[in-house]
Chains A and B, each alone.
Chain A
Amino acid sequence: DAGVIQSPRHEVTEMGQEVTLRCKPISGHDYLFWYRQTMMRGLELLIYFNNNVPIDDSGMPEDRFSAKMPNASFSTLKIQPSEPRDSAVYFCASSSTTGRGSINEQFFGPGTRLTVL
């Protein structure tokens, strides 16, 4: 398996532009997570999906952020309009359930480094 795939790996954009980050989870995993990592705040969970359904989006910072998972093999995180404070590394991760009320290891993608000028 290729692992979790994210694109693009680097994105530089200007304030006010729309940004779309993409993720392909590991095949067979039914949980998908979006995280953001900054020096100031560390790793923060933004939103997660189970079987393509958003379960908890309490970490999404503002209405400018939205995420979708149209099918089991694809998810997007969109920022519109982008602002300089959105500059960070965005990670996607996937996992499967143990069947006993918890999840197995989370596997992370390589991340997308976003710079908003």
Chain B
Amino acid sequence: KQEVTQIPAALSVPEGENLVLNCSFTDSAIYNLQWFRQDPGKGLTSLLLIQSSQREQTSGRLNASLDKSSGRSTLYIAASQPGDSATYLCAVGNDYKLSFGAGTTVTVRA
């Protein structure tokens, strides 16, 4: 059974600082990895999808890396803004199913 861990559980940074969110998983035989954002009381918004053959994906200020052999992914958010405050979830894809981490709750202070 795939186990997904996200550390830290919560993070508070001043505006402008770069964010580094970590995700680790136990089974390296994955199809893909997806990062989501969830605002309080809302649904999940897909941020980035990395297929197993890729090492990284970029979208604007977001960059996600994938190291299957070590079972790790990192989401980088450059020059954080108060609007980046949310919970970020890592989800690992095996056999058409996603296994989710518990998330990292980020607060960006103005």
Contacts and interface: CB of A to CB of B under 8 A. Distances in A.
Interface string A86-117: 00000101000010011111111111000000
Contacts of A43: 89, 91, 100
A31 B42 CA distance: 22
A55 interface: yes
Contact of A105 (B34, B99, B103): B34
Interface stretch (B15-23, B45-53, B65-73, B77-85): B45-53
A67 to B, nearest CB: 15
Main secondary structure of the interface of A (DSSP, over half): strand
Given A42-B102, A104-B49, A106-B34, A55 B44 contact: no
B65 to A, nearest CB: 18
Nearest to B36: A108
Contact of B98 (A45, A50, A55, A111): A45
B97 interface: yes
Interface string B90-107: 010100111111110000
Nearest to B52: A102
A93 B45 CA distance: 11
A107 B103 CA distance: 18
Interface residues of A, number: 23
A21 B97 CA distance: 21
B24 interface: no
A98 B51 contact: yes
A103 to B, nearest CB: 6
Given A42-B103, A43-B89, A102-B52, A109 B43 contact: yes
B32 A48 contact: no
Contacts of A18: none
A56 interface: yes
Interface of B: 31-32, 34, 36, 42-46, 49, 51-52, 89, 91, 93, 96-103
Interface of A: 31, 33, 42-43, 45, 48, 50, 55-56, 91, 93, 98, 101-111
6 contacts: A42-B103, A43-B89, A93-B44, A103-B93, A108-B36, A108-B44
